[in-house]
Amino acid sequence: MEVIIRPDANAAARLAARLIARAVEVKPELVLGLATGRTMERVYDELAALHERSRLDFSRCTTFNLDEYIGLPRTSPYSYHAYMQRHLFNRVNFSPARTHLPDGMAADLDAECRHYEQLIRDAGGIDLQLLGIGSDGHIGFNEPLSALRSRTRQKALTPSTLAANAPYCGGDVTQMPRRAITMGVGTILEARHCLMLVTGASKADILARAVEGPITAMVTATALQLHPHCQVIVDEEAAVSLQGKAYYRWIFENEPEWAPYRAAQA
C-alpha cells in the first residue's frame, strides 16, 4: 500500500483523476470500478474536464459500480444509477451498454448479485477500482463485520451510514433504503489495482485505522492492506492522524513512479 498526501481535496481528486486517465490511455479497454459519494464528485468533475479539454476517450472502457440501494428505482434522483448519470456518464463518452450497476429492484436479489459477479468475470475482472471510505470504515457498503472474503451480496446499512447519506437521499433518514447490494470485500480485492481517495478532517481517524491499524472486519477498508497494488490518495486534513506522514511525503517526492505527477500538482 502507498499513501500519498496532497495539500487539499482538489489536489487529491486531481491526482486520482490523473491516475485514472493514465490507466485509460495505457489500456483504452480498461475495466474501471466506480464509487459514488461526495468524495468522488471532484474526481468526476476532473474526468469530465479531461474529456473535454484533452479528449480523454472512455468509449472502449467498461465500468462496474460498487453498489446500489435496494428498493430505489434507477429513475429515483437518490439512486446511484442517477448519481452516476449526473456526475459522470452524461458528461463523458462511456458506451451505455458497458456501464454496470447492481439492480436494486431485481425480483430475485440474490440472483442479481450472482449475475453481477459473473458480469465482472466475463469482462476479465476489474483493472482499476476507485474507492472512498465510510465513516465506519466501509468500502463499498461492506459494513463492519462484513467477511473479508465476501462477494457481491445484500447488506443492511449501519445507522452511521444512513445518517451520513440521508442528506443525499431527501434528508429524512426514516425514508432511506436500509439495504443495498454491494460488491464484497473479496470482489474488491480481486481488482488488479485499488485506488482509494479520502479527504476531509471527518475522515482522519478512520483513515488512520484503515491504513495503519490492524486488519479487522470491523473496518473493512483494512483489508486493502492485503492488496498488492493499492494506492491511497488523501488530503492534509484527512492525514492529520497518520503516524507515517514523513515517509509518505518522501515517497511522493522521490519515487520515480510519481515523477510525472509531481510537476503538475499544486
Task: Supply the residues annotated as catalytic.
Answer: 67, 136, 138, 143
Q: Which residues of 166-184 are buried (b: 16+ CB within 10 A; e: fewer)?
A: beebeeeeeebbeebbbbb
Residues forming beta bridges with residue 232, ordered by sequence position: 3, 196
* Interacting residues with ligand F6R (CB under 6 A): 35-39, 66-67, 132-134, 138-140
CB nearer ligand F6R, residue 19 or residue 35? 35
Gap between the Cα atoms of 215 and 207, Å rounded: 13
Q: Give, in degrees to the nearest 5, the angle at Cα 190 between 111 and 210.
A: 105
Number of H helices, E strands in the chain: 10, 10
**Closest Cα to residue 219, out of 131, 135, 129?**
135
Cβ atoms of 79 and 165 closer than 8 Å:
no
The residue to which cell 465510510 is assigned: 134
CB nearer ligand F6R, residue 27 or residue 160? 160
Rounded least distance, CB 74 to ligand F6R, Å:
15
Rounded to a whole number of angstroms, the CA Rg of the chain reads 17
CB nearer ligand F6R, residue 240 or residue 251? 240
Locate 21 and state its grid cell: 486517465
CB nearer ligand F6R, residue 44 or residue 252? 44
| 3-class state of residue 174 by DSSP | helix
CB nearer ligand F6R, residue 82 or residue 251? 82
